[in-house]
Amino acid sequence: MASPDRFFVVHVIYLRPFSEVEPWVAPHREHLDRLLAAGHLLLSGPLVPRTGGLLLMRAADRSDIERMLAEDPYARAQVARYEVLEFSPVKFSDELRAVFGEG
């Protein structure tokens, strides 16, 4: 039996000025497209100002998230680090009920 989904907020923190991160944006977004297609990425976007980004992800466990992040071109180029926070959603809008369940 498969493990139930667990949910994670990932804070992507740039380690270099954005001018050094920018060449990796397209490969990073391609990686995110693969995670989205696989059902692990629920949403993503850059922070304002552009110091990093946020990812909302789901997986069976934290080690799965860490593996996916290690494959990110940002990680491979060492231009970003990740703060991973697991959370248990209990309140959400009707639009998100299909994603998070009944709460």
Read off the pLDDT band of 1 (50, 70, 90).
Answer: very low
Cis peptide before 49 (omega within 30 of 0): yes
100 within some domain: no
20 within some domain: yes
pLDDT tens by residue, 23-51: 999 999 999 999 999 999 999 999 999 99
Q: Which residue has the higher pLDDT, 101 or 66?
A: 66
As a whole number, mean pLDDT of residues 60-76 equals 97
Q: Number of folded domains in the chain? A: 1
Structure tokens at 58: 């789901």
68 within some domain: yes
As a whole number, mean pLDDT of residues 12-31 equals 97
29 within some domain: yes
59 within some domain: yes
The range of the structural domain enclosing residue 80 comes to 10-89
The enclosing domain of 15 has a CATH number of: 3.30.70.1060
Distance between CA atoms of residues 28 and 49, nearest Å: 18
What are the φ/ψ torsions at residue 81 (nearest 5 degrees)?
A: -125, 170
